[in-house]
Structures are given as structure tokens and as C-alpha cells.
Structure 1
Amino acid sequence: MKLNKISLAVLCAISLSQHAFAADEPIDANNDTVNTDNIEKIEVTGSYIAGYNAHSVSGASRLDLAIIDIPQSVSVITEAQMQDFQLHDINAALDSATGVNVERIETDRTYYTARGFDITNFQIDGIGLPLTSGNNHADEDTAIYDRIEVIRGANGLMTGVGNPSATINFIRKRPTADNQLTVSGTYGSFNNTRIEADGSVRLNDTFAARAVAVTQSKDSYLDRYETDKNVFYVFLEANLTDDTSLSLSHSYINNDATGNNWGALPLFYTDGSATNYDSSTNTSADWSNWQVIKNNTVFELSHHFNSDWRLRATYSHKTTDEDTELFYVFGTPDKDTELGLTGYGSEYDLDDQSDLVDIYVDGNFNLFGREHQLVAGVNYSKMSYTDSSLYDYTTDYGFPEMPDLNTWDGNTPKPTFTDGLRGSDVTRKQQAAYFTGRFSVVDDLHVIVGGRYNDWQAEGESYEVNQDADYDKFIPYLGAVYSFTPELVAYASYTENFVAQTEADSVGVFLDPITGESREVGVKSELFNGRLIASLAYFDVEQTNIAVLDPETAGLPIDMQTYYGADGISSTGFEFEVAGEIYPGLNASIGYTDFDIEGDDTVAAYTPSKLLKFAATYDFETIEGLSIGMNMRWQDDISRNQGVVAEGFDNAGAEIITKQDAYAVIDLMAKYQITENLGLAVNANNVGDEKYINSLYWAQGYYGAPANYSATLSWKM
């Protein structure tokens, strides 16, 4: 019979409780004392450390390895950290991840980068679509996730394709061993109102369920911007036998935003000087709206053939429905009059559907007197989407001249979206086969060898551009971990990377795929009996033909922008991280990243090359139930070359450089457990009221949120 960790823990607890009530000397059925001298004794030891430390991740290789045994940089944003600092959306959560930069280009569209490259690989429970677009639309709630794993570097084993930046693996909540229910209510600045419920029930030895529900509505520091969000998640689990389990889960997220921007603020005047709008200034029309509904259904089967080998099969079906009415502002304003901008209205609708099947076996085997691990599997994914854009070329409302943004209240006549129908109808498929072997070469040396063969096809048309493409590639992976002591290891890894691109050049032809290599070496250590993990890594990444936005089209609407392939881009640098309990009662996650980008001056300029992330909480021993904490992120200065000053100015021909100085955003928290069931938490964000541009990823930008506050009351049964 195969025992999972929960079953083993229960059996151990039962056996210990039985032993506690037994006599000093065991007796048999005849009440005679039993001689225990020759009985084999089994001692079960283990530990679970709550807080900011995590012991293992699965997204790096599907081998359930301790973080110290993975030959790549790994961070985990734990549930405790998300709760402490009210990290309710993935943007806020990833702000806390070592080496990850969150590029907020618009209110409802976000990109993510690491080591100078876009993050394009996202997974749920280790399963994902590796070619999904790297930008996230709307607000993705974290309430349904137990933790978020960030595997930095090229993930050649599990995704096979994608940039050598990072893989984000969202681990969903599952039924717990005991029945439980948590209900919390939050109220904060900008009329932020949130109610969240999370419950788990174990019906019997066979069936268990967990459900999460969230409703949240809030205004914003941005003029006219409001959001309403509803989330529902249910996970049903059935242990059919001791060896076989089934699960069915579904998540529903409905984000309804009004007053959202499309594009952002102009960052310079016609004379080249920088604009400086109020943080609340918004380019959105008062009728703008963006509704995003996401549904994701996952079916899982797990079967243990014996104590060493397991099969896991997953089917995922995900749909997204987006309905928008958008307003874009482009041009360059005059410094004296603040005029010269033009509006641009569009109705955009998107429907996409993705299906994924992943089947693999994993287990242990003995060879040459040593135990090794192996994973082998196949993967099939299909993503289809249709979208459409409508404009107004008939009335004067489709492209209105804009007034001064400083005083504009968003009032502009709503266009009649009946003209210029354009759109896409695209299907992308990927078939893959992969394997990973972890081999014990000698007592202290483990080598991980693996590879993935990908066959990727696309067909269809997008905005009059043919999308037909067909690529195949084998991606090798090699890693090694050497243990100097059980607590200190050194590692090295190498993989190639491959990315099929859908960006088009100036004549509408797709760019060739990106190819490159990624190398990483480092050391990791478990300190204080495993309560703290520290790591130091050096990485060297090279890519060729990566798509770069043509600066001459940077100020145009997205569907009019073009790209070119860079001859070569490299990123080299180091990362340092510690996570866990560094002192009794003091939990911390500290990460520092420093790297240099060569080969693309534009990317190097707008990408922060130095990032410091710091989160810490302290539980007072003298005041039971009281904790305080701080969450801080710092980045160095960034800039973007916006062209040159036009003729007619005294400084004609001078370069226009938009700059954002280095800055830090500091959040504080305090919480108190009033009773065993009732707790109160208070959070203060950006307590220094720092004003900063969220991102220079695009030629436009908008400002981050000023100081804001919230209070949360939680009840747990």
C-alpha cells in the first residue's frame, strides 16, 4: 500500500497516541510482558517550517527536490508572505520575488521580466502553455494559490521553449487534512472593499473538497478608474484506492474595470523636457471599460504502481473572454499650451481557448548499487483565439483632439464602433516529449540530464498578417550538484533556449525564432537546522534574433508597431538570496540581483539592472499574538531614449531622454491575534509616498500608487 505524507502523519500520530496510553512495558494478548530487545525500531523524524522558507519545488524538473538540490536559482513566495502583506494579486506578489521586475505599462496589462528578458513561461501546478503571451490582462487574484514558485533562468526541462528569464509556477490550494474555514474582510484607501472565504472539508476517507470565494470592489488613485472582481475556485478530490486518486477543479475569475487606460501618459514635451503630471492623471475616457472573464478546468489522475513509481495525467481546459471599449492618447504635447495630443478609440473583443494534456511517469531505480530518479512524459497543447477591433472613421469622435490632460475629466463623446473591422483567427499547437534523470554518480555528486523535443505549429491570420509557422527543436539540459556537507552544495547548469516569435517586421513577416544558451553556477546552503536557505548564483545568458520594438513605431497603437531582430543580446550577473527564519521569531526573504545587458541599448536602459527585495516579519515573544513587518523593493535608475527634438526649437536635434531615478517602495504591516479565532491586521503601502513612473518598457508610462492603507479582520475556525 502506498502511503502519502498526510496518511503517514496520521498513522504516526495514532501510533504515538497509542504508545502514550500504553503501559511502561508492552504486553501480549495473554497480558504477558513482551521482550522488545530484538524488535526492529523505526524512528520517524521530520519538520515543517512555516513562514518564508520553502523546502521543495516541483516546477523546475517534476522531480520533487529540495531547493538546495536544484541546480538553478529558485524563490518561493509563501502563503504566509502573501497574507502578511496583503499580496492579493500576482503583480503585488511578484513585486516581492527576487530578480523579477513587474512592468506595469497600463492599468490592466502587465509584462514581467527577469535577467533582462520577458517572462513568457507560466505554469499551474507545474503544467502550463509555454508559448502563452508574456503579458497578463486584468487582475489575477492570489487567493486560490498556496504559494508561487519562481525558477529563474531558462527552464529547459519543463517548458523547453521560452526566454531564459524565469518560469512562474502557481501552486493551487488543495483540501487539507482537517476541516477548516477562514473568512476575512478588508477595507482600505480608495474605497477598497474585499471579502474572502476559504474552506476545506474532508467528507470521509475517500472524498474531500476545498473552495475559495472572493469579491472585491475598489476605486483608484487614478481618475475615473474603478474595478470589480469576483473569484470562485473549487477543488474536488477522490482517493479511489490507496494507490489511485482523482481530482477535478475549476476556477472562475471575473474582472470588470471602468476608466482603465489603454496606453499611458506622454512622458516628454515637444521641446524634449519631461512632463510631470499628477499621479492621479489618467488618459482614459469616462466610457472606457475592460471586462475579462477567465475559466480554467483541470482534471488530474495520479496512480502509484508501487512505492517507487507513479503516473500522473493532467488535462487542462482554459478560456478567456475579453470585451473592451478603449481610448488611447498619442502624440507629444506643447509645454506652454499642453495641447497637441490626439485620442484614438477602439472596441476590442477577444475569445481564446487552450487545451493541454500532460502525461508522465516518475520514480526511483537502482543502477550500479546506487539509487537514481527518472521522469519521462509527453505533452500536447492547443491554443486558439479570435479577436476583432472596430474603429470610428465616420464621426469626429474616433480621433478627437485632446485638451490639457492636467484638467481633463475624461469627457469625450463615445465613438460609434462600426468601421474598419480587423482581427485575428489563429491556432497554435505544440507536441513535446521530455525526460529528466537525476543520477547519483558518487556519494556527494548528483547529475541531472534531460531534454525536451518540441514540435510547434501555428496557422491563421492576425491583422492581415499570415501566422503560418512550423518549428521543431530539441532542447538539452545538464545540471550537477555537489555536496561539500549536507548543508552546503555547489551547482552548475546548462541549457539551450528556443522561442518561436509572432512579432512582425516592417513588411509584416514573422521574425525567425530566438535561439541561445544559458549557463549558471552557484552555491546553496541550509542554515540553522534547515530554517534558513541561502544561495548565491552567477549567470550568463546569450540570445540571438530577439524581437525589439522599432523606436520609430513606439508611439503608435499596438497593432501598428513593428519589430526587428537584434543581432545578439547577452545578460550576465549574479543573484543573492536568503529566505527563512534568521532569528527566533524573525522571518525574512531577502534577494539582490545585479546584471548587465549587452547588445540592445534600449532594453539595457529601461530595464533596472539592480534589484533589492526585502520582506521581514517579527513575532513578539513578550506580546503573544503581535507581529510587525516590512516589505520593501528597490531598483536603480532607468531611462529611455525617445528620439530627438524637432526643428524649430533652440535645442533641435538634442536627444530626448526620459529618466526615472532609483527609488524604493516601503510597505509596513502589523497584526494581532485577538483571540484564538479572531485576528486584526493593518497594512500601510508606499509609506514614503514615493512618486515614480511604473515602467519605461514602453515610450509612455503612468505613476505608481501613492501612500495607501487597509485593515483586515479575519476569523478562522
Structure 2
Amino acid sequence: MRLPVRHALLATTLLIAPSLCGAAHAEEAEAAPDPAGTIIVTAGLEQSSSATALALPVKDTPQSVTIIDRKRIEDFAITNVNDLLEQAVGINVERVETDRTYFSSRGFDVSNFQVDGIGLPLAWGIQFGDLDTALFENVEIVRGANAIMTGIGNPSATVNYVRKRPTDEFKITGSAQVGSRDYWRVEGDANVPLTDTLSVRAIYAHEDRDGHLAYNHVNRDVYGAILRWQATPSLRATVGYTRQENDADGVLWGAIPLVYTDGTRIPLSRSATTSADWTYWNTRDQSLFGELVYDFGGGWSATGIATYRRFQEHSKLLYAYGYPDRETGEGVYGMSGIYPSDYKQYLGDVYLSGPFQLLGREHKLALGVSVSKSDAKEIEDFSTDTIVYPGPSEWGETGIPEPSYPGGYVAADYSDRLTRVYGAAHLNLTDQLKAVVGASAMWIKSTGESYGTSQARKDSKVSPYVGAIYDLTPNLSFYASYTDIYNPQSEIGIDNRRLDPAKGTSLEAGIKSTWFGGRLYATAAVFKAKQKGLAEYAGNFDENGCAPGQTSDCTGKAFDSYYDPTDTTSKGFEVELAGNVTENWRLSGGFTLLNVENADGEDTRTWIPTRSLKLSSTYTVPEFNDLKLGAQLRWQNATTAIVSDLATYGGVEGDVTLRQKDYAILDLMAGVRIVDHLRASLNLRNVTGTKYLNSLKWGQAFYGAPRSAVVSLNFEY
């Protein structure tokens, strides 16, 4: 059995929290009226500060950057970030459970998430429930280490969600959707200039759907209100509040055992589940932020942002462990618990940016300080009742009786503090050669305890960054970048102590180019990252909290995972393109090839695909009521995982290899203008009905969604 840890340490996630206000800041020093983030101009020229703290065109940024804009979100009716990131080049979405999702890039877990450049802490890089896309204008993904932005050079990726912001134009949009499996959704977005200096934007969405798994149902409400006030020509104030309530029933904690005790695969239907109708996983995510931007003139501006975030969850969960006997179907048991949790985070960031003159040339500079504090409290109410499952043919068909619960106790209570000082400069060395240099210094302090493991630590680190762009022609550039890896970890070792941070280096080099008059942007990159001491799953403590070979003085938590520090190297290449081939033909996508090895040169982290392809295209025919046709395709090669504990449950000795063969998922869309201001569209997902397992990360899995359809009506005025 391989039991995923129920509650990870929020300490690590807070390390990435108070990152630079990226898109919310650096646009101010440029010519943009909206500080919220990216300005879509033309392919490769979109302004982004997610990678280097400086508002630079993507073409001039010495890292791989992908932008998924609002138009693509609406074209393909993408309503949550899990579905969105599945379409992002170089990003893998590991759906290990219905309501807990991991992400990886370039062979490593993605742990750096931001909203408007401010860190969005996710426990162990996990998304709990579905994060709705209604609040966001676009999403920026920076692949590779990102030490300037986060202070932590995790060589996977940084994901920045760019909020919708008030503008000077009156605009109202709305949509209504219905689809397969009792799906329905309504969404509204109103931007209203109240005066010449005051604008407000209000957003609401409601979604209701049945999952393709038995018992599973999701009900979600999203609210957003943002007010912008141009107090003086030089001073702008913005305040906002967002709230999302995601209630899910019939949820998976862990997933489904895939093999019998003899090592052969269990034939399962797509709707099979080891959940029950009494399980749930409800989350409430609230954020309140305030922002002041002052323009000093001459391109210099200062920005201050304060953010309060409170994330609450309340869940009643059921986990299945063991393996069934092929003849009797017996051998799978369950454990259940109730888990209320409350996380509070306070983030502050002050940022200064602008141009300066040196040696007859103009350069750009960005400097900032950020502070953060996080408090976490988690309750566990764990049932001691014995839960026995029926045979696999009845999973999802025969209900599991709900156990009793003895009462909750405080399982985790800890706090984290992080202070950062960071800076970056864009140096205009010659007409062809540009350089980006910078560094981030951070100081970390944690206190408290989580599930019997002390969270106490005190550490500091300075992470440098250097990158260069050389323009061979006006449309073709070479680039390279380097940064340190300093990756704090929450995983525990066999001694039930938290592992030391992983350390190493990350290198990237490539070519960036624009085509067809700048409409199409293309890039190719090679990368290599080395991490020493990276957590690698090693096993589970037994029911007494003992690791293999231990008989006394056991300190682990029953059934929790423990990890070994290993040296891991990731290398590969990516190609990507984005933009317009013609005025009406839009194209984006890319291919990733990856190799991940341990210190002995052996393949590791084999549940991550080493080859993946993402493609998206739309074509508009203006003559036929703006008819738009589109498709998006994602493909990945085969993945594997090892089951090594069958003998523990009376099964065969040795390892058994699980395999998910390569697969492709094709989505299609068509939309047409019915009358002025009103469009109708049809989205077909997984058109070919491909049957595939979502992720083998934990050695358990459940099937991905089958074919479905969504019909939408979209209003814009």
C-alpha cells in the first residue's frame, strides 16, 4: 500500500508565498494603464514579468514562457485551472484524487503558484478542489527555476494567475452552459466606470455537475469584486475581494487499487470508485488585497501590495488499502477520518522599478522587499472502526457503511515567517546583446508541530540569477539563463524528521523567433537541472508507525509515507509556437522530451511522461456569422509505477510494474454569432472516448473522464 499523506506541511508552501508582485508591478514602469499583468500585443511581444521581475516582452525573456489568454479559455469552455494547465506546454497534471491534484514540469513537482505575482501557497504544490477560471484574465507559466520571483529555485515551473481588473470601458459579459452528466453553469462579469476616476468590476460564477465516478458531485460558487480609484494623476489605489466555495461529494482519498494479490490487473469500469456517498471535501478560499501604485515620472513607479488569504477545508474521507484476492474479491479495507483545517496567510510586498542611464545606454532596474506570515491549524477525527470492501465488481455499486468517529484533536499547529529582499536589472549592453541579472535573499523561520513532526527551522539563502539574450536578427534571438536551486521540502525521512532542502543548479538555453510579421512566435530550448537530496518515495510506516526493520522506538505516523534524499538530474528539450498564422488562423502548442535519472543513471519518477505534445488551433470564417472552428490535442507517452507491497497483503513477492500506455485526448469546438452580442458554441471533449488512467503517481489511480459535450450561450455588451 502506498498511502498519500493526508496533510502536508504548509511551511514549504509559504516559502513561495511572498514573491515579487510580478505582473501587478512591472507593468507600471512600462506604458500599460492596467497593472494586472500581461498585455497581449503580438506573438512574442506580450509583456510579462513573471520570470525576471522586469516587464519584458516574452521574446526578450531568457526563459520559456507560455501564456494562455482569456480568448482560449472561452473558446474551449475551460472553467477550472486543472483543465487549463493540462493544455499548457511542458506541464503535467497529476490527478491522484478527485479533489487533490499535483502538477509537474521538467520532471519535478510544481510548487510555485502566484496570483498577480503574489505567491499562492498550495500545500506541497497541491490544488485542493477545482480553482475556477472566472476570476482570471490569463495564466502565465514560466518553466524552469525562478529564483528571483520566488526565492526558491525549484526547476519545474512557476504558474502566475493574472486577475481580471477594472478598466475604463463599460462592459458586461455573461454565459450559460449545459452539458453531459447534468452539468450546468452560469457566469457573469460586469465592468462599470462609476466616475472618471473610479471603476468597479464584479464577477460571479456557479457550476453544478456530476462526476463520471459513482457518487461524485461538485457544486461551486465564485465571487469577485475589485474597485480601482485613480486618486491623482500619479496615485492609483485598488482593493479587491474574491471568494470561492467548492463543495464536492463522493470524493476519492487516495484512488483505486489496480492489481489483484497475484499481480494481475483488475478490470475496472470508468465509473468505479472506492469512495462512498457520505464522503465530502468542501473548501472555502477567500482573499482580500489592497494595492497602491505611485508614478514618480520618468518611467519610475513604486507599488505596495498587502494580501490576506484564508483557506478553509472540511472533509470526511475514506481511503481504500490492500489488494483483493482474484478468486474471493476479499482483501481491501478502508480507513476514514474527518479533517477540518484552517490556514491564514498575511503577505506584504513593496516594489520599485524604472529605467536608468549607464554608459550612454538605458537599462531597467527592479528592487523589492516582501514579508509574510502563515498560521495553520488542522484537526483530525480518525475512525478506529474496521471497514471492509466488497469485491472489485461492486466498487461504486454497493455502498460502504459510514463508521463512527471518536472525536477530533489538534493534529497540526504551526507557523511560518519569510522575509525576502530581491532585485533584478535588465542591462542593454549593446544593440544586439541584453542581459538580466538579479538575486533574491530570504530568511525563513518556522515553529510548531504537524502530525508528530516538529516544524521548527531557521534558515537563510541567497539565490543568484543571470540570463542573456543575443539578437542575431530582428526576428531571431539566442538566449541562456542560470539560477541556483534551493528547494525546501516538507517530506519526512525514515527517522520521522523533515528532509533538508534540495540544492543544485538549473541551466537553460534556446532560440526565440517571430514569423509572419510578428504574428507567430516560436521557440526551442534545452535544459538541465540537478538536485541533490531531492525527496524520493521510499515506503510507508506500518500500523505501529514503524519502518521496515524497526521493531521498537518507532516514531512514524501509521501508514504515512517516508522518503529518502536522492540526487536527481533532469534534462531535455522543448519546442513551442504561439500566435496567428493568418489573420483568422490561430495556432499554439509544443512538444517536450524529458529524461529524469537518479545518481546511478537509472530512470526515476517514471509516472511522469517523458514525451508530451500539446496543440491548439482555431479558425474563424467572418463571412459566416463569425463562425469559429477549433481543436485541441494532448498526447503523452507511456508511464509506469512500481507496486512493491503485495506480499504484505498475502500476495506475490517482489515488484509488480503498473503501466499506462500512451494516449491522446482530442477536444473539438464550434461557435457562431446568432445575433449581435450573442454567440452559441458547442464543445466536445475526449471525442474519441479514450480510456486512460489519470496518474500512477501513488501506485493507485482512477480513470479519466469519458466523452462529453457542453453547449454554451455567450452574451457580450
TM-score, normalised on structure 1? 0.90
Match of 1:210 in 2: 201
Match of 1:374 in 2: 365
Determine which structure has greater relative contact order: mean sequence separation of CA pairs < 8 Å that are 6+ residues apart, divided by chain length.
Answer: 2
Q: Is residue 314–residue 339 contact of structure 2 (8 Å, CA) maintained in 1?
A: yes
Match of 1:446 in 2: 434
* Gap change, CA 1:261 and 1:151, over 3 Å in 2: same
Match of 2:481 in 1: 493
Provide the secondary structure at the position in 2 that maps to 1:83: helix
Of the three residues 393, 397, 401, the one matched with 1:406 is 393
The CA deviation at 1:89 is 0.2
Q: 2:268 aligned with 1:269, yes or no?
A: no
Match of 1:675 in 2: 675
1:299-338 alignment, distance < 5 Å: 299-338=290-329
Provide the secondary structure at the position in 1 that maps to 2:74: helix
Q: Is residue 639–residue 696 contact of structure 1 (8 Å, CA) maintained in 2?
A: yes
* Gap change, CA 1:380 and 1:7, over 3 Å in 2: closer
Match of 2:16 in 1: none
Percent sequence identity is 34
Match of 1:170 in 2: 161
Of the three residues 126, 136, 139, the one matched with 1:135 is 126
How far, CA to CA, are the matches of 1:314 and 1:560 in structure 2? 42
The residue type equivalent to 1:411 in the other structure is G
Provide the secondary structure at the position in 2 that maps to 1:355: strand
Match of 2:685 in 1: 685
Deviates more, 1:552-561 or 1:583-592: 552-561
Match of 1:620 in 2: 621
The residue type equivalent to 1:461 in the other structure is E
Q: Is residue 322–residue 649 contact of structure 2 (8 Å, CA) maintained in 1?
A: no
* Gap change, CA 1:455 and 1:489, over 3 Å in 2: same
Provide the secondary structure at the position in 2 that maps to 1:157: helix
Q: Is residue 309–residue 363 contact of structure 1 (8 Å, CA) maintained in 2?
A: yes
The residue type equivalent to 2:534 in the other structure is I
* Gap change, CA 1:716 and 1:559, over 3 Å in 2: farther
Provide the secondary structure at the position in 2 that maps to 1:674: strand
How far, CA to CA, are the matches of 1:299 and 1:163 in structure 2? 29
The residue type equivalent to 1:462 in the other structure is S
* Gap change, CA 1:101 and 1:559, over 3 Å in 2: farther
Provide the secondary structure at the position in 1 that maps to 2:221: strand
How far, CA to CA, are the matches of 1:283 and 1:54 in structure 2? 49
Unpaired stretches in structure 1, ≥5 consecutive residues: 9-46
The CA deviation at 1:156 is 1.2
Q: Is residue 121–residue 132 contact of structure 1 (8 Å, CA) maintained in 2?
A: no
Task: Name the Cα RMSD after superposition.
Answer: 2.2
Match of 2:18 in 1: none
The residue type equivalent to 1:573 in the other structure is G
Q: Is residue 328–residue 344 contact of structure 1 (8 Å, CA) maintained in 2?
A: yes
How far, CA to CA, are the matches of 1:6 and 1:570 in structure 2? 40
The CA deviation at 1:562 is 3.1
Q: Is residue 3–residue 242 contact of structure 1 (8 Å, CA) maintained in 2?
A: no
Q: Is residue 637–residue 661 contact of structure 1 (8 Å, CA) maintained in 2?
A: yes
How far, CA to CA, are the matches of 2:687 and 2:681 in structure 1? 16
* Gap change, CA 1:561 and 1:454, over 3 Å in 2: same
Q: Is residue 540–residue 559 contact of structure 2 (8 Å, CA) maintained in 1?
A: no
Of the three residues 190, 200, 214, the one matched with 2:191 is 200
Q: 2:710 aligned with 1:710, yes or no?
A: yes
Provide the secondary structure at the position in 2 that maps to 1:345: strand
How far, CA to CA, are the matches of 1:681 and 1:716 in structure 2? 14
How far, CA to CA, are the matches of 1:98 and 1:702 in structure 2? 24
* Gap change, CA 1:62 and 1:188, over 3 Å in 2: same
Q: 2:113 aligned with 1:122, yes or no?
A: yes
The residue type equivalent to 1:597 in the other structure is V
The residue type equivalent to 2:60 in the other structure is D
Provide the secondary structure at the position in 2 that maps to 1:406: helix
The residue type equivalent to 1:606 in the other structure is W
Q: Is residue 566–residue 599 contact of structure 1 (8 Å, CA) maintained in 2?
A: no
* Gap change, CA 1:173 and 1:179, over 3 Å in 2: same
How far, CA to CA, are the matches of 1:119 and 1:512 in structure 2? 18
Q: Is residue 497–residue 515 contact of structure 1 (8 Å, CA) maintained in 2?
A: yes
Match of 1:20 in 2: none
Q: Is residue 261–residue 652 contact of structure 2 (8 Å, CA) maintained in 1?
A: no
Q: Is residue 186–residue 710 contact of structure 1 (8 Å, CA) maintained in 2?
A: yes
How far, CA to CA, are the matches of 2:542 and 2:477 in structure 1? 46
The CA deviation at 1:257 is 0.7
Q: 2:417 aligned with 1:429, yes or no?
A: yes
Provide the secondary structure at the position in 1 that maps to 2:119: coil
Residues 166-202 of structure 1 show CA distances to partners (whole Å, capped at 9, x for unaligned) of 0000000011231010111000001011000011011
Provide the secondary structure at the position in 1 that maps to 2:605: helix
Residues 78-106 of structure 1 show CA distances to partners (whole Å, capped at 9, x for unaligned) of 11111111111000000010000000000
* Gap change, CA 1:129 and 1:162, over 3 Å in 2: farther
Of the three residues 322, 329, 332, the one matched with 1:341 is 332
How far, CA to CA, are the matches of 2:214 and 2:349 in structure 1? 45
* Gap change, CA 1:130 and 1:278, over 3 Å in 2: closer
Q: 2:642 aligned with 1:641, yes or no?
A: yes
The residue type equivalent to 2:628 in the other structure is S
TM-score, normalised on structure 2? 0.90
How far, CA to CA, are the matches of 1:558 and 1:80 in structure 2? 47
The CA deviation at 1:419 is 4.9
* Gap change, CA 1:49 and 1:374, over 3 Å in 2: closer
Of the three residues 199, 223, 239, the one matched with 2:230 is 239
The CA deviation at 1:501 is 1.7
Residues 49-95 of structure 1 show CA distances to partners (whole Å, capped at 9, x for unaligned) of 58x87712121122110000000000001111111111110000000
Larger-gyration structure (1/2): 1
How far, CA to CA, are the matches of 1:351 and 1:552 in structure 2? 27
Match of 1:585 in 2: 584
Match of 2:446 in 1: 458
The CA deviation at 1:574 is 0.3
How far, CA to CA, are the matches of 2:705 and 2:577 in structure 1? 28
Q: Is residue 286–residue 410 contact of structure 1 (8 Å, CA) maintained in 2?
A: no
The CA deviation at 1:392 is 2.2
The CA deviation at 1:644 is 6.7
Provide the secondary structure at the position in 2 that maps to 1:560: coil
Deviates more, 1:138-147 or 1:582-591: 582-591
In the alignment of these two chains, the number of paired residues is: 672
The CA deviation at 1:531 is 1.0
How far, CA to CA, are the matches of 1:427 and 1:501 in structure 2? 16
* Gap change, CA 1:4 and 1:66, over 3 Å in 2: closer
Provide the secondary structure at the position in 2 that maps to 1:305: strand
The residue type equivalent to 1:349 in the other structure is P
* Gap change, CA 1:420 and 1:203, over 3 Å in 2: closer
Match of 1:101 in 2: 92
Q: 2:619 aligned with 1:632, yes or no?
A: no
* Gap change, CA 1:256 and 1:677, over 3 Å in 2: same
Residues 20-39 of structure 1 show CA distances to partners (whole Å, capped at 9, x for unaligned) of xxxxxxxxxxxxxxxxxxxx
Q: 2:156 aligned with 1:156, yes or no?
A: no
Residues 557-594 of structure 1 show CA distances to partners (whole Å, capped at 9, x for unaligned) of 99732333333100000000000102331101111100
Of the three residues 376, 379, 384, the one matched with 1:385 is 376
Match of 2:504 in 1: 516
Residues 383-407 of structure 1 show CA distances to partners (whole Å, capped at 9, x for unaligned) of 11100111222xxxx3211112322
How far, CA to CA, are the matches of 1:186 and 1:336 in structure 2? 46
Provide the secondary structure at the position in 2 that maps to 1:568: strand
How far, CA to CA, are the matches of 1:194 and 1:155 in structure 2? 36
The residue type equivalent to 2:193 in the other structure is R
How far, CA to CA, are the matches of 2:299 and 2:634 in structure 1? 43
Unpaired stretches in structure 2, ≥5 consecutive residues: 1-27, 546-555
Of the three residues 346, 352, 357, the one matched with 1:361 is 352
Provide the secondary structure at the position in 2 that maps to 1:81: helix
Q: 2:523 aligned with 1:535, yes or no?
A: yes
How far, CA to CA, are the matches of 2:48 and 2:610 in structure 1? 27
Match of 2:281 in 1: 290
The residue type equivalent to 1:293 in the other structure is R
Residues 429-482 of structure 1 show CA distances to partners (whole Å, capped at 9, x for unaligned) of 110100101111111111111000011111100111111011110000000011
How far, CA to CA, are the matches of 2:364 and 2:64 in structure 1? 21
The CA deviation at 1:498 is 0.7
* Gap change, CA 1:399 and 1:376, over 3 Å in 2: same
The residue type equivalent to 2:478 in the other structure is A
